[in-house]
Amino acid sequence: MAYPAQPRANSEGSLEKGSWLSKLGPGLITGAADDDPSGIASYSQAGAQFGLGMLWTLIFTYPLMVGIQVVSAQIGRVTGHGLATNLRRHYPGWLLYSIVCLLLTANTINIAADVAAMGEAARLIAGGHAHFYAIGFGLLSVLLQVFVPYSRYVRVLKWLTLALLAYVGTVFVVHIPWHDFLSRAVLPAALPWKPEYITTMVAVLGTTISPYLFFWQASQEVEELNAKPGAKALRTTPRLARADFLRIKIDTYIGMGFSNLVAFFIMLTTAVTLNAHGVTDIQTASQAAMALRPVAGDFAFILFTCGIVGTGMLAVPVLAGSAAYAMAGTFRWKNSLEYSASAAPQFYAIIAVATAIGTLLIFTPIDPMKALYWSAVINGVISVPIMAVMMLMAARKDVMGHLVIRPRLKRLGWLATAVMAAAVTAMLVMLATS
C-alpha cells in the first residue's frame, strides 16, 4: 500500500530515533488496549468473587497471548497487508464477510460499554452527568483519529499506556497478605470446578485473547512499515526479517507482559480488598472503583477511577480502528491513520460510525452488561476460526513466501487456538444448560 502523493504528515513527526519508546509500538499499544474498562470489570469481578483463586489464569494466558499476537504481527509485516486483506485474497468470501460482520458488531458493543464506563468514572471524580462525559470522550476519540496523523497519534497512544500504571499503584496502597498470595496465586492447590468459576475463567480468557487485537496489531505493523520511506514488505526483502522479527518479538513480549501484569494487579487489588470484605458481586469497572473506596481509601479509589478513563481513551480507538481496518481490507478501501480524511473517507467513516453508534447505545434501554456479555460471547466464538485461519495462513508459502512461521511459534499458536476452542466449548455448554 503506497501513500498518496501529498500525505498529511511524514515520518519527521515520529519519535526520535534511538529513544527507548520508539522501539515499542504495535505490541505495546495492543497489549495495553486489552485492559479496557470492560476488561477491568472482568478482572475486578474475578478478584472480588474468587479472591486469589483466579490469578493463575493471567500467568497461564501470557505465553498464549504472546504466541498468537506475534503470528498476527508477522503476517502484517511479511505480507504488507492486514488480516482482512489476506483473508480476502486467500479464503472464501463467506468466511471473510462472516468474520468481519461479527467483529464489527462485537467491537461496537464493546465501545458502548467502554464509553459508558468512562463517563461514569468521570462523574465519580468530577460530578455532573455521565452521559455528557461519555459523548465527549467518544467525540474526542474520533477527532484524534481523524485529524492527527499516525506518526503523531501513535505517540499519544503510547503515552496513554501509562494510565495503566494507576493499577500498579493501587497495590502499594492496600495491604497484601504476601504469604497467602505466594502460596495460592501461582498454582492453587485445587480449582473449584463450579459453573460460575468456569464462566469467569472463560471471561478472563476471552478478555485477554480477543479478535480485535489480532486485526489491530497486524494493521499497525503495516502502518509502521509504510511510515518508513522506501520500506517494503518482508516477503520481498527477506534479508531484513531477522531484525524485524526480533523487534516484533520484544515489542510483543513487553506489550503482552505489561497487559497481563496490570490485569494481575487489578485482580489482586480487588481480591485483597473487596473479596476480603465480603464484596463479591462487581458488574462494572466504576462499581469496582466505588466498592474499593470504603475498604482501601480515597487514594486507591482515585487511582482506580482515573485508570478507567485513561484505558478507555486507549481502547476505544483500537476497537474502532480495528473494525475500520477490517472493513477497508474487505472492500479494498484505502486505509491508514496517516491518510487525511479526504484521502480515505470510507475508512474514517467506519471509525466515526462505530464510535458514534457505540456512544448512542448508552442512551437505549439495552442493558450494558448484557450487551457486554454478548459481545464477549461473539468475540469468543469468532476468535477460534480467526486464530485457526491465521495459523494456516502463517504456514502458507503463497502468503508468507519463505518466511512461514517456525515450528516453535506454530506449536504455541495452535496451543492458544486449542485453549480458546475449549473455552468457547465450555461457554456454549454453560449457555445451553443455564
Structural domains in the chain (count):
1
399 backbone φψ class: left, alpha, beta (φ>0; ψ -120 to 50): alpha
Could you tell me which residue, 15 or 249, shows the higher pLDDT?
Answer: 249
Q: Which of 71-80, 196-205, 307-316 has the highest mean pLDDT?
A: 71-80
What is the mean pLDDT of the segment spanning 154-160?
Answer: 71
Higher-pLDDT residue of 208, 345 = 345
pLDDT at 179 over 80: no
Contact 320, 145 (CB under 8 A): yes
Confidence of residue 8 (pLDDT cuts 50, 70, 90): very low
Per-residue pLDDT band for 83 (boundaries 50, 70, 90) equals very high
- At which residue does the C-alpha cell 518466511 appear? 403
d(CA 106, CA 245): 30
More confident residue, 148 or 21: 148
Q: What's the confidence (pLDDT) of residue 280?
A: 73
In this predicted structure, what is the pLDDT of residue 403? Answer: 94
Q: Give the pLDDT score at 150.
A: 66
Give residue 10's pLDDT.
Answer: 40
Q: What is the 3-state secondary structure (H, E, C) of the chain?
A: CCCCCCCCCCHHHCCCCCCHHHHCCHHHHHHHHCCCHHHHHHHHHHHHHHHHHHCHHHHHHHHHHHHHHHHHHHHHHHHCCCHHHHHHHHCCHHHHHHHHHHHHHHHHHHHHHHHHHHHHHHHHHHCCCHHHHHHHHHHHHHHHHHHCCHHHHHHHHHHHHHHHHHHHHHHCCCCCCHHHHHHHCCCCCCCCCCHHHHHHHHHHHHHHCCHHHHHHHHHHHHHHHHCCCCCCCCCCCHHHHHHHHHHHHHHHHHHHHHHHHHHHHHHHHHHHHCHHHCCCCCCCHHHHHHHHHHHHCHHHHHHHHHHHHHHHHHHHHHHHHHHHHHHHHHHCCCCCCCCCCCCCHHHHHHHHHHHHHHHHHHHCCCCHHHHHHHHHHHHHHHHHHHHHHHHHHHCCHHHHCCCCCCHHHHHHHHHHHHHHHHHHHHHHHHHHHC
Q: Is residue 6 part of a domain?
A: no
| Residue of 152 and 309 predicted with greater confidence | 309
Q: Please indicate, yes or no, if residue 7 is contained in any of the structural domains.
A: no
Report the pLDDT value the prediction gives residue 126, as an integer from 0 to 100: 86
Question: Rounded to an integer, what distance in angstroms lies between the CA atom of residue 362 and that of residue 116?
Answer: 6
- Average pLDDT in the 238-265 region? 89
CB under 8 Å to 349, separation ≥6 — which residues? none
CATH of the domain at 231: 1.20.1740.10
Q: What is the pLDDT of residue 351?
A: 93
**What are the tens digits of pLDDT across the range 20-69?**
555 667 777 787 777 777 777 788 888 888 888 888 888 888 999 999 99
User: Which segment of 68-77, 138-147, 389-398 scores lowest on mean pLDDT?
Assistant: 138-147
* Mean pLDDT value across residues 74-85: 95
What local confidence, expressed as pLDDT, does residue 146 receive?
Answer: 86
Domain annotation covers residue 43:
yes
Digit-coded pLDDT (tens) for 126-142: 888 888 999 999 999 89
Q: Can you give the residue range of the structural domain that contains 223?
A: 13-433
Average pLDDT, stretch 224-243?
86
More confident residue, 190 or 160: 160
What confidence score (pLDDT) does residue 125 get?
Answer: 84
In angstroms, the Cα distances linking 93 to 61, 82, 235, 272 are: 32, 16, 24, 49
The pLDDT mean for the chain works out to 81
Q: What is the pLDDT of residue 116?
A: 86
52 domain-assigned: yes
**Is 1 part of a structural domain of the chain?**
no
Of 385, 337, 265, 311, nearest to 34 by C-alpha is: 311
Q: What integer is the mean pLDDT of 413-418?
A: 94
Q: Quick one: pLDDT at residue 5?
A: 39
| Region 204-231 average pLDDT | 86
Q: What is the pLDDT of residues 337-384, one digit of tens each?
A: 888 889 999 999 999 999 999 899 888 876 655 666 666 667 777 888
- Return all residues near 159 (Cβ < 8 A) that are at least 6 apart: none
- For the record, the C-alpha cell of 374 comes out as 454478548
Residues in the chain: 434
8 occurs within a structural domain: no
Residue range 184-193: average pLDDT?
60
- Asked if residue 263 belongs to a domain, the reply is yes
Question: Binning pLDDT at 50, 70 and 90, where does residue 120 land?
Answer: confident
Q: What is the pTM of this model?
A: 0.85
